[in-house]
Structure 1
Amino acid sequence: MTKLLYIAPRDFPRRVANRVQTIKMAEAFAKHAEVTLMVSKLHTSIEELWEYYDVKTPFKIKVIGEPFIGPQSAYSLIPSLIEILRLKPDILYFREELIGWMISWFKRDYIYEMLDLIPRYQRYYPRLVRKSKRTITISEGLKHTAVNAGLDSSKIEIRPDAVDLDAFGINTTKQEARSFLGLDKNTKLVIYSGRFSSWKGTDTLIQSALYLPKDVKILLVGGFEGEPEKMKRIISHSGVSEKVSVIEFQPHSLIPQYLKAADVLVIPNNAEHQLSVMHTSPLKLFEYMASKRPIVASNLPSIREILDDSSATFVEPGNPQDLAAGIMHAIESKEIKTKIDCAYKIATNNTWEERARMIIESALKH
């Protein structure tokens, strides 16, 4: 069986999407290969980790520890090289620029997944891409930026993020989900799931409450350290405390229930950050599509790579009044089911398992 070593010197679990992506890709790889995931630290038992991320296909995890002082990437180099020599993997996979750049001096023909072009790592990218067997980008916009920066186009292939269809395509009604979560069954509920970073547009979503009817409520689910408190302050200062609520970060295994509880799901990304406009491939977007709920999204190239007017309602980024109008259109439109069905069909073609299969096939072919 194909051996795959995934080097991810980070701690797990954490309240960020990149940890979800790492675990779900490792699980998907495990359906096609013998997988070892190398991490720096676990905050839970293995069994609790599987439950937290709703992992149904387990894989091996090797914990290498964290340094008392100095960067994690430098500390991880020797354990990574030892594991490479011990396992002799057919496929070596990583997403970390610094550890990848160091490994590239000892081994080539790895798979490098590029999530963004970070200025402080600018000098590392040419070698990272050149020495790779394949470099994966999550969006057409990111590949375009990488090629314009002089990176080798022939090495780069696009694989957008994906979804666990079994987890998010559950056959649960809106009322069942609200009963399970203890949410009000008598309001129209607009839900956002994820981080509350500035470029995510959650401030625009909060302001949109000023233009929504009283029976339409907004629920923000997620956030990282300090973000929920910041959102609560913005909500209070905006005078919409009765219409907007925050539920702090939930285990990923619970997110399908929240999405099923919604009347509308929103991606209000702003247009002030290149990551938002061109580079991102939001995990929540694919989870929304699989949940069979109407989607209202900012009209940005990164979102348009996946959805179009037949599968989502698009609004002007950073415009709370237009966002509110889009939300009401999604609630009231008689044609919205057609968009829901189109979005779900796209989700069925973008599963973690299919993404993993295509990456493995490409790696073994080249």
Structure 2
Amino acid sequence: MKFLYATTIDYPSTRANRIQVLHMAAAFTALLGKDFLFGMRSTRRPLPHGLDAYYVGEHAHSYTYAWDYLKYARTMQVSDVLCREERMLFFIILLNALWFRLPLRFWYEIHHLVFVKTWWSRYMLRRVSGIISLTNAMKQELVSTGYPAEKILVASDAVDVSEFSGTKDVVGLKAELGIPEDKHVIVYTGSIDEPWKGVGVLYEASKLLDDSYQIVVVGGKEHYVEYFKKEYPERANFLMVGQKPHESIPSYIALADVVVLPNSGKQAISAISTSPMKLFEYMASGVPIVASDLPSIREVLNPDNAFLVEADNPQALAEGIESVMKQREVASARAAQAQRDVQAYTWDNRARSILSFVGKILK
């Protein structure tokens, strides 16, 4: 088996999906060695984890990326193609059927259900050997459309727990951000441009918390931060520090007395499809978690390892945050349980699970 992971990512990037792809490529490389091939668009510096890559270059359309990857697959005698980009995978499958006719097997890592009912997505799904779904809830949706359950693997996202070991300079970072030592610090990490991320709900919750609380939002490109500030008037207890390099995220999380995952339940991508990397980073940090009580989140979190609150409800979110500070021993016990639970969610384990699934399907 020669396994190609076909992507169009660039490096470096602060986007979570890019970081996920690089971690998975490193895990596959460790397991498959030279039988694993990794493709990406471009890089402006040496890749992390000692990775090598085939650079597909800049293209204007998904079908031209697909054509380039098929030429590479033919040259390298690839047997299996894994892809998480639905349009490109559709064209890889279509162009292979029409022109290249290579003996390839296709594996689709699905991250949302936005396109699942389109004609081209149905064409693609009928021709993949198997699907890797981020959540069981999304798997059940796929099964309801007629896709065989035995051809779907549920593989949540993961974390490199080693990134959260060691001492962080919390005092120095607090001083840099101007946060007094006596504040209860609440941290959110991640993008702010999608309403389903729930940052607006977190802002509304900030109005319900007293002056002893300081919310810190880490994430969002500059123009998104500026847009957010136009929509939501600045508040002293709601600090937005913008996008930061991913390697600095453990230090920002270490600032926190509480970390929050305020996902909305109004969109399917949040309620059933998402498996946020920040969730696993929060668990690895040992900081108490307050999260929306949604099916997607419930697949990993529960009342033993987190504080779950009603989604889209600022009052419930504020009360959840206050509960952590009022129940320190309970909160510490749940955070410790989250740290134990997250040991199962490593990139290596995820890669092993996918390769085991591939092996079972091929028997």
Q: Do these two structures clear the TM 0.5 threshold for a shared fold by scoring above it?
A: yes
Task: Describe the SS at the equivalent of 2:31.
Answer: coil
Q: For residue 125 of structure 1, report the CA deviation from its aligned partner.
A: 3.0
Within the alignment, does 1:217 sit opposite 2:209 as a pair? no
Amino acid at match of 1:345: R
Q: Residues 284-363 of structure 1: matches in 2 within 5 Å?
A: 284-333=278-327, 334-363=329-358
Amino acid at match of 1:161: D
Aligned residue number for residue 145 of structure 1:
141
Contact 1:16–1:224 (Cα < 8 Å) also in 2: no
C-alpha distance in 2 between matches for 1:253 and 1:361:
30
Out of 87-96 and 312-321, give the one that drifted further.
Answer: 87-96
User: Per-residue displacement from partner, 1:79-126 (whole Å, max 9, x unpaired)?
Assistant: 101111122235421111122122224254222101111238722333
Q: Residues 160-175 of structure 1: matches in 2 within 5 Å?
A: 160-167=156-163, 169-172=164-167
C-alpha distance in 2 between matches for 1:37 and 1:346:
30
Q: For residue 336 of structure 1, report the CA deviation from its aligned partner.
A: 1.1
Amino acid at match of 2:266: E
Contact 2:109–2:132 (Cα < 8 Å) also in 1: yes
C-alpha distance in 1 between matches for 2:273 and 2:171:
34
Within the alignment, does 1:26 sit opposite 2:25 as a pair? yes
Q: Residues 34-113 of structure 1: matches in 2 within 5 Å?
A: 34=33, 35-42=36-43, 44-46=44-46, 49-50=47-48, 57-67=49-59, 70-71=60-61, 73-105=62-94, 106=96, 107-113=103-109
Amino acid at match of 1:39: M
Task: Describe the SS at the equivalent of 1:226.
Answer: helix
Aligned residue number for residue 128 of structure 1:
124
Contact 2:82–2:107 (Cα < 8 Å) also in 1: yes
Change (3 A) 1:82 1:121: farther
Q: For residue 201 of structure 1, report the CA deviation from its aligned partner.
A: 0.7
Aligned residue number for residue 54 of structure 1:
none
Aligned residue number for residue 53 of structure 1:
none
C-alpha distance in 2 between matches for 1:11 and 1:278:
28
Q: For residue 346 of structure 1, report the CA deviation from its aligned partner.
A: 1.6
Q: For residue 225 of structure 1, report the CA deviation from its aligned partner.
A: 5.9
Task: Describe the SS at the equivalent of 2:50.
Answer: coil
Out of 348-357 and 101-110, give the one that drifted further.
Answer: 101-110
Q: For residue 155 of structure 1, report the CA deviation from its aligned partner.
A: 1.2
Q: For residue 177 of structure 1, report the CA deviation from its aligned partner.
A: 2.6
User: Per-residue displacement from partner, 1:282-310 (whole Å, max 9, x unpaired)?
Assistant: 11101100010000001111111111111
Superposed CA RMSD: 1.9
Out of 118-127 and 253-262, give the one that drifted further.
Answer: 118-127
Contact 2:42–2:56 (Cα < 8 Å) also in 1: yes
C-alpha distance in 1 between matches for 2:105 and 2:293:
38
Contact 1:190–1:262 (Cα < 8 Å) also in 2: yes
Within the alignment, does 1:255 sit opposite 2:254 as a pair? no
Contact 2:16–2:277 (Cα < 8 Å) also in 1: yes
Task: Describe the SS at the equivalent of 1:278.
Answer: helix
Give the TM-score, by structure 1 length: 0.89
Give the TM-score, by structure 2 length: 0.90
C-alpha distance in 2 between matches for 1:332 and 1:354:
36
Contact 1:66–1:75 (Cα < 8 Å) also in 2: no
Contact 2:78–2:104 (Cα < 8 Å) also in 1: no
Contact 2:285–2:339 (Cα < 8 Å) also in 1: yes
Task: Describe the SS at the equivalent of 1:119.
Answer: coil
C-alpha distance in 1 between matches for 2:187 and 2:140:
32
Amino acid at match of 1:36: L
User: Per-residue displacement from partner, 1:164-198 (whole Å, max 9, x unpaired)?
Assistant: 1111x31326xx33424634333111000001110
Q: For residue 274 of structure 1, report the CA deviation from its aligned partner.
A: 0.7
C-alpha distance in 2 between matches for 1:361 and 1:88:
21
Aligned residue number for residue 223 of structure 2:
226
Aligned residue number for residue 99 of structure 2:
none
User: Per-residue displacement from partner, 1:200-223 (whole Å, max 9, x unpaired)?
Assistant: 110010111111120110010011
C-alpha distance in 1 between matches for 2:81 and 2:31:
14
C-alpha distance in 2 between matches for 1:26 and 1:121:
29
C-alpha distance in 1 between matches for 2:190 and 2:259:
12
Contact 2:81–2:104 (Cα < 8 Å) also in 1: no
C-alpha distance in 2 between matches for 1:120 and 1:363:
22
Task: Describe the SS at the equivalent of 1:104.
Answer: helix
C-alpha distance in 1 between matches for 2:11 and 2:24:
14
C-alpha distance in 1 between matches for 2:66 and 2:202:
43
Task: Describe the SS at the equivalent of 1:32.
Answer: helix
C-alpha distance in 2 between matches for 1:83 and 1:120:
28
Aligned residue number for residue 150 of structure 2:
154
Match of 1:177 among 157, 170, 190: 170
Aligned residue number for residue 11 of structure 1:
10
